[in-house]
Structure 1
Amino acid sequence: MKRVVVAAVVVVVAGGSVGVGVLRGGEGPVQAEAQPLGAASVERGDLVDSEKVDGTLTYEGERGVALGVGGVATAVPEEGRIVKRGEALLKVNGKAVTLFYGSEPMYRVLKEGVEGRDVEQLERNLEVLGYGGLTVDQEFTGATADAVREWQDDRGLEETGVVEVGQVVFLSGAVRVKDVKVEKGGRVAAGQVAVGVTGLQRVVRVDLDAEKQDLARQGARVEVELPGGVVVRGTVAEVGDVAQTVGEPPNQKAVVAVEIRLDKGAKTGKLDQAPVTVELESERTKGVLSVPVEALLALKEGGFGVEVVEGAARRVVAVKTGAFGGGRVEVEGAGLKEGMKVGVPVS
């Protein structure tokens, strides 16, 4: 935690104003213009020291989607479009490649008699989309084939009751199209990454200097200043445990990757890769008395004091200073209590 360092200043209090003189070597103080005093509270609470670092506003879960079918891209999505369960990610040879939710990739033809977790995924998606009459398990039965035919009919596909590899893409949830790697009318090969997608959750990524790694603690709350000055809150979700080198000599540096998940409902707009400023907590001192830093008076006899305001009366109390954070300083002094008022210069 930082400690307060204040230049040697002589403060003379008189009738609700303060005159400040600066000590210069062996000379006496040079009297400055009197400045009106206001009052601030002595508070008890946590002092938080923080540091601001640069980050980038983006979306979580960036990945490329490879297709299981080759041909001509007859329809491609716009960048930024949200694609949900049962919707077409794009079309190849006039046929939709549909997004279903699941963790197992679409790696084989699914038809009657096939068993496995990918079958269960398919059945669960069909059920959620309203194609009933089947049991969600790991067996592709005749009832599953009937549901598939209904779905194929609605999608304008040949009603075979068989799901070909190129008809479906399984992803973990709804996605946002980050970029399209094939133009409408362009050819795409099976296995080729045709679309880059992300999740919908807004995150901030920070390349934090490795020597400052202690600033980022998983689960810690942070503030993020967006372009335009709007401040939103978030939580440190991930902190890399392997340093990476970025930049070119002689400006290379070692960094660790930090990901911050923004609070649900944070108004971030739709900007992607926007520069932001993240305020990370470096240290916290709990439950101490504090005053604004500008309330400190440098005393002639050495050390510091504060001017306690009690109605029309004012008195200077010598204090011992401690931790600093958020423009306030920890103080200990005879008789100082929470809720007291101390003098501060009025700007």
Structure 2
Amino acid sequence: MSGIFTDRDEETAGEAEAEPVQEGTAPPRAPRRRRSRTVLVAAACVVVAGVAVVGRLGLGGGGGAGPTAPPRAGSTVPVARQTLVERTKVEGRLGYGAEIPLPVKASGTVTWLPEAGTTAERGDTLLRVDDRPVVLLYGTLPMYRELGMTTATPPASEGGGDTGKGAGTGTGTGTGTGTGKGTGTDKGTGTGTGTGTSTGADTQPAPPASASPQPLRGMDVLQFESNLAALGYTGFTVDEKFTSGTERAVKRWQKSLGLPETGRIGLGDVVYSTGRIRLGQAGVRLGAAAGENVLGHTGTTRKVVVDASALEASWAVRGSEVTVGLPDGTPVKGEVASVGRQAAPPEGEGDSGTPPTVPVTITIPDQRSLGRLESGPVSVEYVGRKRENVLTVPVAALVALAEGGHGLETEDGRFVAARTGLFADGMVEVSGPALRAGLKVRIPQ
């Protein structure tokens, strides 16, 4: 029975004998099919990646629909229609402005000075000269003469000489020589005495006429009387005449100041300003001679000064609104009050080629918004260009196209060209035939 084989045994033996691989024979068919499938999958991945790159670069697509790429992660935003405003920031300085010397006309020795930063108003003493107070009053007309009652000079017909006629009697003695005729020739000499009456002119000086005080007139009188009444000293009519009523009020005011009650205001007794002032650094020391540079002053309102480039100062128009950024970042509203007319090189630049600057003064209507800050560096933001009712997208949505320029990626993966305009506040103006309000575009990650 050992020599008998069945068909099954033959098949099994045949398979067992076929397992060794002989040299020069072909590999089994099943392994060859698996290797071909792997090569095809790799080639397909390369093709898909190539399409995605072409779409990203904007190749093959114009303003219309282009090749699509597989969905990618990233947020989408709509193209919006709005107004864009370009804002620019420049540096400025907060303070009270440049100090101006007070027009002090008092002569003598300075015996008292105020502290820098003191606020003075009508009736306050600014300084003392020869221990006499120099008082602040309000007005625009400077002090240019002494104020008080005047003494009228009578006409010449009232206070000159008096001419009249008078009669006088005089006695005179004289000697004379005469010649007479007679029966003969006779010469003789005689002496005679006579009395006569004469009439002539006689001039004598008249006693001087008494001069009476007369009112002083002028706009400076009106300005002074307005201040005197505002300080509470009345009893006169506020007008252009310095009368005896004004004189009596002045004496009461002088008494309150500890001055001799003369009823007259000297040239250096008062200084006029347009309102309250802030006193600055003194220009002299105690014991020095008084003069017009003895004390400086500014206004009491804090303001900002910007040295704006003369080439870019078109924004500085009186009345224009700006935003002032304080050192702590707080924004406050400001308004352009004045623009200098004389350009000057930037401070410390010399002839470095830097464009000249002009001073721009900005007022802060709400002084309380500044808190207790009196000086320091600030920023000033102003409006430059403005584009109204334009299509806009976030700047981050822009992509660079291979053929040049910018484009936007739509929600479905298409890339469309976009012309850019004004950039402002993180947004950009865009335009193009394929763009419309509401179109969803992707912000690349």
**TM-score normalised over the length of structure 2:** 0.61
Query: Aligned partners of 2:99, 2:442: CA distance in 1, in Å?
Result: 53
Deviations 1:37-66 (A, max 9, x none): 376893623x22132222222224631013
Matches within 5 A, 1:1-347: 37=75, 42=80, 44-45=82-83, 47-60=84-97, 62-112=99-149, 113-183=215-285, 185-189=286-290, 191-246=291-346, 247-250=349-352, 253-265=355-367, 266-267=369-370, 269-272=372-375, 274-298=376-400, 303-305=406-408, 320-332=419-431, 336-337=436-437
Question: Displacement of 1:238 after TM fit?
Answer: 1.8
Q: State the one-letter code of the partner of 1:261.
A: T
Question: Displacement of 1:100 after TM fit?
Answer: 0.3
Aligned length: 308
Query: Aligned partners of 1:76, 1:42: CA distance in 2, in Å?
Result: 65
Deviations 1:56-77 (A, max 9, x none): 2222463101322123323211
Deviations 1:307-345 (A, max 9, x none): 67xxxx99988655332222222245768448x987657
Q: 1:69 to 1:289 in 2, by over 3 A?
A: same
State whether residues 226 and 268 of structure 1, in contact with CA within 8 Å, keep that contact through their aligned partners in structure 2: no
Rg (Cα) greater in structure: 2
Query: Aligned partners of 1:59, 1:294: CA distance in 2, in Å?
Result: 43
Equivalent residue, structure 2, for 1:12: none
Q: State the one-letter code of the partner of 1:55.
A: G
Deviations 1:106-161 (A, max 9, x none): 12111122221211111111111222222221111112112212221222222221
State whether residues 238 and 260 of structure 1, in contact with CA within 8 Å, keep that contact through their aligned partners in structure 2: yes
Identity of aligned residues (%): 39
If each structure's helix is expressed as a fraction of its own residues, which one has the higher value? Answer: 2
Q: Gaps (5+ residues) in structure 1?
A: 1-20, 24-33
After superposing on structure 2, the runs of 4+ consecutive aligned residues of structure 1 that deviate more than 6 Å are 299-302, 313-318
Equivalent residue, structure 1, for 2:14: none
Q: Say what the alpha-carbon RMSD is for the aligned residues.
A: 3.2
Deviations 1:229-272 (A, max 9, x none): 23222112222333223432335542222222222333163433
If each structure's strand is expressed as a fraction of its own residues, which one has the higher value? Answer: 1
**TM-score normalised over the length of structure 1:** 0.76
- Aligned partner of residue 237 in structure 2, secondary structure: coil
Question: Displacement of 1:193 after TM fit?
Answer: 1.6
Query: Aligned partners of 2:56, 2:111: CA distance in 1, in Å?
Result: 77
Query: Aligned partners of 2:442, 2:238: CA distance in 1, in Å?
Result: 72
Query: Aligned partners of 1:58, 1:260: CA distance in 2, in Å?
Result: 11
Q: 1:122 to 1:326 in 2, by over 3 A?
A: same
- Aligned partner of residue 236 in structure 2, secondary structure: coil
Deviations 1:289-310 (A, max 9, x none): 43332233556787423667xx
Query: Aligned partners of 1:40, 1:162: CA distance in 2, in Å?
Result: 80
Q: Gaps (5+ residues) in structure 2?
A: 1-54, 58-71, 150-214
- Aligned partner of residue 111 in structure 1, secondary structure: coil
